[in-house]
C-alpha cells in the first residue's frame, strides 16, 4: 500500500514539474516568431532554436510553438511573378483599385484567383513606380495549410524580391488562420431541401414552357412557310420582295458583342484614364472614371467609328489623379459611319 501511494505521489510531482516547465517555457519564449520557407514546403525558425516545421510536424507541436505569438512568414520568391507598373503621381490614393484592375493584364491569372501585394519603388511629383508581386491564391493556401486554424495572435506573410539590384519586401494581404465557419447539419438539410424544391419548380416550369413554346414554334413555322412562299411568288413576278429572315440575320451580324465593345473601349481610352464603372444597356453605354484629360474623351469616342453621341452626363470634379467624369454614348452597328 505504501509503495502504491509513493508511486502515485511521484507521478503527481512529475506532472506538476512538467507543467511548470511548460509555463516557464511560454514565459521565456519571444513574442515574435519568424519563419523562413525552405525547400520542400518546410519552414525554419530564425534564431538560436532553428526548429523546422513541415506538413509532417505533429499538430500539438506546431500549436505549442505559435500560441499567442505574432508570426512572420517569409515566403520564397519562386512562387511569385514580379511586374513593374508605372502610374501618374496622383494615382497613389487609388493604388489598390488600379492595381487590381491591371492584374488580368499583368498576370496569367484572373484577379479573383490572384493574391498580390506591392511596394512603391519611386515616388516623384510626376510619376509613381510600383513593384507588384503576385501568385495563385490556391497555391499559397495549400503551402500554408499546416498553419490553418492555429491560435497565433496574427500572421504576416511577406516575400522579398530583387528589383534594380536591391531587395524589396512586399507584404501580402493573406492569413492562413482565415477559415469559413462550419455549416451545421440543420442548415445543410435546409439548403438541400430548398435546392430540391427549387429543382422541382424549375422542372415544372420547364415542362410548361416547353408546351407553350412548342405551340408557338408550330405557329411560327407555319408563318415562316407562308412568308417563304410569298417571297418565291414575288420573285417570279420580278417585284421587290421583303425577306424578314434575312433582315433579322443582317441585324444580328450588325450588332456588336459585349466583349468586343469592352475590348474596343479599353483600346481607345488613353493610358492616363481609369474606369470605375461601365454599364451597357441595348445600344447605350455609360462609363465613369478618372482621366488626366477628360475634355478629349467625347471626341475620341465619337471619332472611333464604334461609339456615337458621346456626351458628359455630370459635371467633372477635380481629383488628385485627374478629373472624374460620367459619359453616355451610343454603340453603332457594324457597317455604319458616324458624322
Q: 225: left (phi > 0), else alpha (psi -120 to 50), else beta?
A: alpha
Name the band, by pLDDT with cuts 50, 70 and 90, for residue 135. Answer: very high
Average pLDDT score over residue span 267-272: 84
Name the residue among 292, 295, 264 with its Cα closest to residue 278.
264
Q: Mean pLDDT throughout 91-102?
A: 84
Residue 28's pLDDT is 46
pLDDT of residue 8: 61
What string of H, E and C letters represents the secondary structure of 155-222?
EEEEEEEEECCEEEEEEECCCCCCCCCCCCHHHHHHHHHHHHHHHHHHHHHHHHHHHHHHHHHHHHHH
Nearest to 152 by CA among 19, 32, 54: 32
Q: What is residue 145's DSSP assignment?
A: G
In the predicted model, what is the mean pLDDT of residues 39-49? 80
Band of the pLDDT at 83, cuts 50, 70, 90?
confident
pTM above 0.85, yes or no: no
Give the Cα separation of 135 and 116 in Å (integer).
6
C-alpha span between 34 and 65 (Å, rounded): 11
Give the angle 48-28-156 at the CA atoms, nearest 5°.
70
**Is the pLDDT assigned to residue 23 strictly greater than 70?**
no
75-172: CATH architecture:
2-Layer Sandwich (3.30)
Per-residue confidence (pLDDT) for residue 180, from 0 to 100 = 39
Please state, in angstroms and rounded to a whole number, the distance separating the CA atoms of residues 62 and 171: 23
pLDDT given for residue 326 in this prediction = 92
Is the per-residue pLDDT at 187 higher than 60? Answer: no
| Whole-angstrom distance, CA of residue 328 vs CA of residue 314 | 10
Determine the average pLDDT of the residues in 251-263: 72
CATH 3.30.1360.100 domain position(s) in the chain: 253-331
The per-residue pLDDT for 16 is 57
Of the ranges 60-69, 106-115, 135-144, 180-189, which one carries the lowest mean pLDDT score?
Answer: 180-189
> Strands across the sheet with 154-163, in order?
52-53, 43-45, 32-37, 70-75, 154-163, 166-172
Strand, helix or coil for residue 146: helix
- Residue 105 Cα distances to 83, 85, 110, 131, 172, angstroms: 11, 11, 9, 15, 20
Of 113, 117, 122, 17, give the one whose Cα is nearest residue 77: 117
Give the pLDDT band (50/70/90) at residue 156: confident
- Rounded to 5°, angle at Cα 101 from 99 and 102: 65
Q: Beta strands of the chain (E only): which ranges?
A: 32-37, 43-45, 52-53, 70-75, 81-88, 114-123, 127-136, 154-163, 166-172, 273-281, 284-291, 307-312, 317-319, 322-331
Per-residue pLDDT band for 245 (boundaries 50, 70, 90) equals low
pLDDT at 328: 93
Q: Write down the pLDDT at residue 239.
A: 45
33, 72 Cβ separation under 8 angstroms: yes
CA-based nearest residue to 289, from 300, 269, 274, 268: 274
Q: What integer is the mean pLDDT of 274-280? A: 86
**Stretch 53-76: mean pLDDT, rounded?**
85
54: Cβ contacts below 8 Å, ≥ 6 apart: 40, 41, 42, 43, 146
pLDDT tens track for 298-330: 888 888 888 888 898 888 888 877 888 899 999
**For the chain, what's the residue count?**
339
- Nearest Cα neighbor of 261 from 277, 243, 280, 245 is 280
**pLDDT given at position 12:** 60
State residue 339's pLDDT score.
47
Which of the 8 DSSP states describes residue 332? P
pLDDT at 108 over 90: no
Is the distance from CB of 78 to CB of 136 less than 8 angstroms?
no
Q: What is the CATH number of domain 253-331?
A: 3.30.1360.100
Mean pLDDT of 29-35: 73
d(CA 85, CA 106): 9
Q: Residue 123 pLDDT > 50, yes or no?
A: yes
- Per DSSP, 282 falls in state T
For residue 179, the model assigns a pLDDT of 42
CATH 3.30.420.380 residue window(s) in the chain: 75-172
Distance CA 309, CA 181 (A): 51
Q: Are 140 and 88 in contact (CB under 8 A)?
A: no
Amino acid at each position: 500500500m505504501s509503495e502504491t501511494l509513493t508511486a502515485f505521489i511521484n507521478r503527481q510531482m512529475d506532472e506538476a514539474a512538467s507543467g511548470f516547465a511548460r509555463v516557464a517555457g511560454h514565459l521565456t519564449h519571444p513574442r515574435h516568431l519568424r519563419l523562413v520557407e525552405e525547400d520542400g514546403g518546410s519552414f525554419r525558425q530564425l534564431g538560436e532554436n532553428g526548429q523546422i516545421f513541415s506538413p509532417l510536424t505533429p499538430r500539438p507541436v506546431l500549436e505549442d510553438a505559435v500560441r499567442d505569438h505574432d508570426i512572420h512568414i517569409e515566403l520564397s520568391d519562386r512562387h511569385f511573378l514580379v511586374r513593374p507598373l508605372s502610374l501618374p503621381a496622383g494615382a497613389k490614393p487609388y493604388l489598390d483599385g488600379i492595381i487590381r484592375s491591371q492584374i488580368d493584364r499583368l498576370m496569367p491569372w484572373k484577379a479573383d484567383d490572384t493574391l498580390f501585394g506591392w511596394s512603391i519603388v519611386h515616388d516623384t511629383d510626376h510619376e509613381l513606380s510600383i513593384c507588384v508581386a503576385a501568385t495563385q491564391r490556391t497555391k499559397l493556401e495549400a503551402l500554408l495549410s499546416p498553419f490553418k486554424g492555429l491560435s497565433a495572435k496574427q500572421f504576416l506573410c511577406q516575400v522579398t524580391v530583387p528589383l534594380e539590384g536591391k531587395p524589396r519586401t512586399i507584404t501580402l494581404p493573406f492569413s492562413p488562420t482565415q477559415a469559413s465557419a462550419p455549416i451545421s447539419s440543420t442548415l445543410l438539410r435546409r439548403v438541400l431541401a430548398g435546392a430540391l424544391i427549387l429543382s422541382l419548380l424549375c422542372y415544372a416550369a420547364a415542362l410548361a414552357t416547353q408546351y407553350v413554346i412548342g405551340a408557338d414554334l408550330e405557329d411560327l413555322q407555319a408563318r415562316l412557310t407562308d412568308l417563304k412562299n410569298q417571297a418565291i411568288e414575288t420573285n417570279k413576278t420580278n417585284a421587290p420582295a421583303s425577306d424578314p429572315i434575312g433582315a433579322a440575320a443582317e441585324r444580328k451580324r450588325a450588332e456588336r458583342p459585349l466583349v468586343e465593345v469592352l475590348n474596343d473601349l479599353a483600346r481607345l481610352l488613353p493610358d492616363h484614364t481609369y474606369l470605375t464603372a461601365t454599364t451597357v444597356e441595348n445600344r447605350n453605354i455609360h462609363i465613369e472614371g478618372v482621366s488626366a484629360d477628360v475634355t478629349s474623351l467625347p471626341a475620341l469616342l465619337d471619332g472611333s467609328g464604334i461609339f456615337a453621341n458621346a456626351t458628359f452626363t455630370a459635371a467633372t470634379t477635380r481629383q488628385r489623379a485627374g478629373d472624374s467624369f460620367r459619359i453616355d454614348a451610343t454603340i453603332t452597328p457594324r457597317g455604319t459611319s458616324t458624322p
